[in-house]
Structure 1
Amino acid sequence: MWRCLAGLRGAALAAGFRAYTPAAERKKFYQNVSISQGEGGFEINLDRRKLKTPQGKVFIVPSEPLAIAVATEWDSQRDSIKSYTMHLTTLCNTALDNPTQRNKEQFIRAALKFLDTDTICYRVEEPPGLVELQKNEWDPVINWAEKRYGVSITSSTSIMGPPIPAETKETFMKHLASYNTWSLLGIEYIIVQLKSMVLAMGLIDRYLTVERAVLLSRLEEEYQIQRWGNVEWAHDYDLQELRSRTAAGTLLVHFCSESSTVKHKLLQD
């Protein structure tokens, strides 16, 4: 029950991302992918065509590593273009077109709301094995976050969830304000995937790996699977897809928060 309640807001936010992701496949129309430096950033070229966003804007990103990562997504497509597999491209399209017309303050508020329904703060009272598993796996992450940010984060078995001190929210608000809008989009995207701001911060700060963060976000599911079994192909697909989306959000944050350049710019088949 707690997982369901904690995930309601995440499902609502995730719907917004899905709505901006083209689901249909289309025939591949290009041979070579390259990047070039343009005014204000780096552009993606499909043969001699500039990549455009769904709203027709020139696709231009703020850092060279991000451009190379996006170009790699396009270069990896084979006979058809599967847009639903190109998570970084989708995130960049969202940042460029901003279909919901949100500003930096709104991104920060959306992220902070997840503190009230954070997955790792909602605990079960039974079965004993899951209770112990949550304590052993989630408590160290909460302890890390409290020390890292100098805040108080509690857990609860109540349907109302744990009370989050105003000082904790204020601290996280100031921390999020240090990121630019592109990075905040990535942070929100990670939070939506993991249904946890605490896990997202642990991932961005490199305290957790993508694999570890995803596992911790699915702790109850993994416990039930080990106990009762699973439909193997469905579980594997869901797990890999969640890792892929989470990794894309993490790369967006890092590539938009760090200054670096890469010499090799041309990608060709």
Structure 2
Amino acid sequence: MSPATRLCLVLPLRPVACRVAGGCTRAATRAIHSNPAQPAKVVPVYGTGPPPEPPQPDPEFTAQEREQRLARRRRQAELLNRAGDLKALKQQQQQDAKNTKTSGGGLKRRFWKDVHVREVNGALEIHLDTRPLRHPTTKSIIRLPASKPHLAHALALEWDNLVSAQQATKQHLIPLTSLICRALDIASSDSSNTTEGSIRPTITTTLLRYLDTDSLLCLAPPPAPGDHDPARDGPSLRTRQEQAYTSTVSYLTTRVWPGVSIAPVLDGHSLFPQPQQPGTREVVQGWITSLSPFELAGLERATLAGKSLLAAARLVVEWSEEGAHARTISADEERGRRKERYGVEEAARAVSLEVDWQTGRWGEVEDTHDVEKEDLRRQLGSVVLLVSGNGTASKSS
């Protein structure tokens, strides 16, 4: 049996005989509470109608408070404007200081005033006032063949556009200087007669890798009947790739590598590139090894820029003053070749067929495709300047 959870508030007392009217007796009890119980009183609602109006402030006090609030907001807005002006002024000062520092202001401006091209002992030199331009690593004077006046003047113009000497340490501001120094390094490595650390074998190995993944040898699948795009007129991507492939390969197998067969490595449906026929790599390797230092440096730059060894080889052969060991052609063939000159624009279009196809269909990405397009033409143009000349090439000392 569970204990009681409630206590009784009325305790029974000792029964006392109590006589009441009527003659009966009952036991007397006493309550704990001293206050008697009161019944609830029902009071009616005293009033009816809407509630009274809330208290209103004094009109004079309200106008004064409004003026104070507006004045406070005006002061806050003025402080915010001053803070913004101070912040903008500080940022402008920092930007001006940064621009002054990077542009060579004050003592950090370039130490030369004029740039000249001078012929010294049968070679062309670039002089910064009276100081000859030197190799940044070996500190030797940069001497160009006398048959390359365009290259020398382009190099002088590149240094004349620099504002400070600090800009000469940035490779993207002196691309022609780095390319010329690369050619001079190859010439110095060839004359050292040491096989260890030679630059030419390393370049040859690197360039031969592009023969297996050449952009001109990777063809898109033929368009299926259901892939026809009525909104686009003109030849398909596959047709354009075949035209670029046929034109370049026929030129190289006729002028540079006679008797060599170069086949596409990816023909649309294959997953892995197919190797070339036996003997093809050996012929191409021998041709690369036989190039002059300026031709080899130009071939390397053009291949890395366009990801195509074939397009780079044709560009170098077309513009090289030394011929790049190409087969001599007749006068009629020379006149026909000049009508269809393979220049920077043709090489850039050949290695950018896929990108041009996509951008022509979907549009260009601002500050991406246009920058890459100009950079590709800039690098290919530097190759043309490097290998071209007036035909009287001589070794640079």
TM-score, normalised with respect to structure 1: 0.75
1:122 is aligned to 2:194: no
Which AA in structure 1 matches 2:117?
I
Q: Output the CA distance in 1 between the equivalents of 2:136 and 2:103.
A: 15
Give deviations 1:163-212, integer Å, cap 9, x for gaps: 21232222223322332223211111111111111101221222521111
1:132 is aligned to 2:239: yes
1:191 is aligned to 2:303: yes
Matched-pair contact (CA < 8 Å) for 1:42–1:61: yes
Q: Output the CA distance in 1 between the equivalents of 2:296 and 2:360.
A: 35
Secondary structure in structure 2 of the residue aligned to 1:43:
strand
Which AA in structure 2 matches 1:154?
A
Secondary structure in structure 1 of the residue aligned to 2:368:
helix
Q: Report 1:157-176 matches (<5 A).
A: 157=267, 158-176=270-288
Match of 2:200 among 81, 89, 104: 104
Shift of 1:49: 1.9
1:88 is aligned to 2:210: no
**Which residue is 1:6 aligned to?**
none
Shift of 1:45: 1.1
Match of 1:63 among 128, 135, 145: 145
Which AA in structure 1 matches 2:263?
T
**Which residue is 1:113 aligned to?**
209
Match of 1:179 among 266, 270, 291: 291
Matched-pair contact (CA < 8 Å) for 2:219–2:241: yes
Q: Output the CA distance in 1 between the equivalents of 2:103 and 2:311.
A: 33
Matched-pair contact (CA < 8 Å) for 2:103–2:163: no
Match of 2:159 among 74, 83, 94: 74
Q: Output the CA distance in 2 between the equivalents of 1:53 and 1:239.
A: 30
Matched-pair contact (CA < 8 Å) for 1:61–1:92: no
Q: Output the CA distance in 2 between the equivalents of 1:86 and 1:133.
A: 35
Give deviations 1:186-240, integer Å, cap 9, x for gaps: 1111111111111012212225211110111111010000010112443222111
**Which 5+ residue runs of structure 1 have no aligned equivalent?**
1-23, 262-269
Q: Output the CA distance in 2 between the equivalents of 1:59 and 1:236.
A: 37
Bigger radius of gyration among the two: 2
Higher helix share: 1
Q: Output the CA distance in 1 between the equivalents of 2:309 and 2:131.
A: 39
Secondary structure in structure 2 of the residue aligned to 1:59:
coil
**Which residue is 2:358 aligned to?**
224
The change in CA–CA distance for 1:35 and 1:121 in structure 2 (over 3 A counts) is: same
Which AA in structure 2 matches 1:119?
S
Matched-pair contact (CA < 8 Å) for 1:187–1:250: no
1:154 is aligned to 2:236: no
Q: Output the CA distance in 1 between the equivalents of 2:289 and 2:353.
A: 30
Moved more, 110-119 or 128-137: 128-137
Query: 4+ residue stretches of structure 1 with deviation over 6 A?
Result: none
Give deviations 1:216-265, integer Å, cap 9, x for gaps: 1111010000010112443222111110111112321234x94259xxxx
Which AA in structure 2 matches 1:70?
L
**Which residue is 1:267 aligned to?**
none
Matched-pair contact (CA < 8 Å) for 1:41–1:60: no
Shift of 1:75: 2.4
Q: Report 1:236-255 matches (<5 A).
A: 236-255=370-389
Question: Relative contact order: is structure 1 or structure 2 higher (C-alpha 8 Å, sep ≥ 6)?
Answer: 1
Q: Output the CA distance in 1 between the equivalents of 2:317 and 2:378.
A: 18
Q: Output the CA distance in 1 between the equivalents of 2:348 and 2:103.
A: 28
C-alpha RMSD over aligned residues: 3.0
Matched-pair contact (CA < 8 Å) for 2:298–2:316: no
Shift of 1:48: 1.9
Matched-pair contact (CA < 8 Å) for 2:216–2:245: yes
Q: Output the CA distance in 1 between the equivalents of 2:103 and 2:275.
A: 45
Matched-pair contact (CA < 8 Å) for 1:203–1:250: yes
TM-score, normalised with respect to structure 2: 0.53
Match of 1:211 among 325, 345, 357: 345
